[in-house]
A = this chain, B = another copy of it.
Amino acid sequence: MAKSETSSAKASPEAMANAIRVLAMDGVEKANSGHPGMPMGMADVATVLFSKYMKFDASRPDWADRDRFILSAGHGSMLIYALLHLTGYKAATKDELSNFRQWGSKTAGHPEWGHMPGVETTTGPLGQGLANAVGFALAERHLAARFGEDLVDHRTWVIAGDGCLMEGVSQEAIALAGRYKLNRLTVLWDDNAITIDGAVSLSDATDQAGRFKAAGWAVKAVDGHDMKAISKAMAWATKQDKPTLIACRTKIGKGAATMEGSHKTHGAALGAAEIAATRLGMSWDHEPFDLPTEIETAWRKVGKRGGKARKAWEARLARSPHATEFTRAMRGDLPEGAFDGLNAKIAELIETKPAQATRQASGAALDQLFGAIPDMIGGSADLTGSNNTFVKDTPILDGPDYAGRYINYGIREFGMGTAMNGMALHGGVIPYGGTFMVFSDYSRPAIRMAALMGIRVIHVLTHDSIGLGEDGPTHQPIEHLAALRAIPNLLVFRPADTVEAMECWQLALEHRNTPSAMALSRQKTPAVRTEAGCENFSARGAYELKYLTEGEARVTLFASGTEVAIALAAAATLDAEGLPTRVISVPCFELFEQQDAAYQASILGRGTIRVAVEAAVKQGWERFIGEDGAFIGMSSFGASAPAEVLYREFGITAEAVVAAVKARV
């Protein structure tokens, strides 16, 4: 039983697929945790895909024109780790495989982007990988239109399970892909008729082929263990003018000696006895993680298949007039002078002091940025006019004309979020998309994944408080600021006026490893940044907007967004009544936490009377006001009425701030 047995025998495709099965069994067994059933079931499909259709070069996982492979059914992570190991990705060592799911390994329980080269997106929360793939495929077509098919000409392949197809986001994704005729997208459905609780039929009777056809897809069904049929279907897929679904009828845990076809193979180690019997059945006489030489050789050859194409592409890139710009965009660098227009505009705004809604302010920022940064792609979940996300005269990204830079996502907030994640991961584009802030609840799982991966995706969330008025409590965010601020590695910006909105947009674009959420008002608010200064004060997260030029402050007021104006009005009253008051604008909690302790202390103003005002729940503001401070905001859901009535009825007024201060004198 030694790895080094040499053999001149050529490895059969079946034996190559069995290598995936054995590695999956062994990895899960060693960890005593994981999901062997899916990798074993889809091993045949994956073997055909990688051996014959995927365009990739294992020695260059970052080749820009590679095909993307997305394991939407992320629990089957051993499938991708096995494939990367077998095809010779440097990082996917035997050690990594045998450290599956352990602290510090690259082989996390679910595939994590940024940990293991070859993993294109983090998957696990079902449906999202499939939905990311739509973003990959959109980005590919857009960049092909922008830079030419000489440089951009690749496919996106997805393995999805029943869970992915049951999740609602899959409908948003397939409808988008169908609408945009993303014909370089192929989904390989692991149609094993099994879920964790038992047969799929317990909870589902959907005719998936019919459903995908209705969404504008071409569909073929094959026996997922018939490699010739699989290959034929993949060849067919590459020739369609629409996205393609290949329904692969498989047996979960295929090859397992006694457990093949059972949901018991889904989420637990098979056990030593079953594994031994399975090895015997496969005539696999090797130690865990060891490979027969002929298998290893065959798979390594697969890993090198794309080398020639990759070199040819590099040569094309070298002589392309787009080389510099393409490389810059794919690296995620911003063009030089990206913010020149913005900064000039800020200087102007300090003078003109426009009173406008911060969603309009955001639109004004986009007016400055969109031309300067050709990588930006905007969009909205059917609220374009309300979100101020559309820059005048921008061509629409559409089926025939993928060069457009604005996407009509339809009423699909989650689908938009996942597509934006896919686009950002693909590279070459910087996506932003709008909806009402309250519907960040719909896109939240995508926002979380962006934060977890650390990718630059910008959510434009307008109508950010009861200030939206008559649409009422179903549309009024109350807890959303707190809920978004709770997500690690997400920048939540709530600018107070046009200048801050511009500063926040710059910060969002500069943070390449952090997604951002822009909380923007529906209602008008006055300019509050009216003094010239060359610093981006919003970068501090919280800063002294109104300060005392002499004497000591007795009061510190904290506020964000449209409530900064309320704090300023209260401060004017308090000053006049002999209570010297500072006002701290807090456009971004997270950036404030990154400041040094001395700066934080100077802002917090312990010893002064502290009051915070934000038209939202208190949670999180204790950081600023301590245990004895007052909070003026919301503690219930909102109501349906004009905005000014709501502010008055819910007591979010300068008078309430003043009263809270006086009660503490």
Which residues in A have some Cβ–Cβ distance to B below 8 Å?
Answer: 31, 33-34, 74-75, 101-105, 108-110, 112, 122-126, 162-163, 166-172, 175-176, 178-179, 195-198, 202-211, 213-216, 380, 382-386, 396, 408-412, 414-415, 438-439, 441-442, 444-445, 448-449, 451-452, 469-475, 478-479, 482-483, 485-489, 606, 617, 619-620, 622-623, 626-627, 634-637, 639-642, 645-646, 649
Given A109-B640, A408-B197, A412-B168: A474 and B205 within 8 A (CB)? no
* B contact residues around A214 at 8 Å (CB): 206-211, 213-214
Q: A445-B442, A479-B487 are in contact. Are A472 and B109 (CB under 8 A)?
A: yes
* A103 partner residues in chain B, CB cutoff 8 A: 639-642, 645-646, 649
Using CB atoms, name the residue of chain B closest to A208.
Answer: B214
The count of identical subunits is 2
Which of A176, A215, A383, A489 has the most chain B CB atoms closer than 10 A to its own CB?
A215
Does the CB pair B452–A473 fall under 8 Å?
Answer: yes
5 contacts between A and B (CB under 8 A): A179-B204, A206-B215, A210-B210, A479-B487, A626-B626
Which of A408, A409, A489 has the most C-beta atoms of chain B within 10 angstroms of its own C-beta? Answer: A408
Residues of B within 8 A of A442 (CB): 125, 167, 445
In whole angstroms, what is the CA distance A627 to B628 when docked? Answer: 10
CA distance A166 to B649 in the complex (A): 36
Known: A110-B474, A197-B385, A203-B408. 16 other contacts (CB 8 A): A33-B642, A34-B470, A103-B649, A108-B472, A109-B472, A109-B474, A123-B474, A125-B474, A166-B175, A178-B205, A195-B410, A196-B386, A197-B380, A197-B384, A483-B483, A483-B487
Closest to A649 in B: B103
Tell me the smallest distance from the CB of A488 to a CB of chain B, in Å.
5
Instruction: With both chains docked as a complex, state the minimum distance between the C-beta of A105 and any C-beta of chain B, in angstroms.
Output: 8
Nearest CB of B to A276, in Å: 23
CB-based contact A445/B452 at 8 Å: no
Q: What chain B residues lie within 8 Å of A179 (beta carbons)?
A: 203-206
Question: Which of the residues B162, B482, B626 comes within 8 Å of A482, measured between beta carbons?
Answer: B482
Asked whether, in the complex, the Cβ of B485 is within 8 Å of the Cβ of A635, the reply is no
Bound Cα distance A167, B381 (Å) = 10
Q: How far is the CB of A433 from chain B (nearest CB, A)?
A: 12
Question: Across the interface, which residues of B come within 8 angstroms of A385, CB to CB?
Answer: 196-197
Q: What is the chain B residue whose CB lies nearest that of A166?
A: B411
- Per a CB cutoff under 8 Å, which of B75, B410, B486 touches A203? B410
Interfacial chain B residues near A386, Cβ < 8 Å: 196
Residues in chain B near residue A474, CB distance under 8 A: 74, 109-110, 112, 122-125, 449, 452
Task: Write out the residue numbers on chain B whose beta carbons fall within 8 Å of the beta carbon of A445.
Answer: 439, 441-442
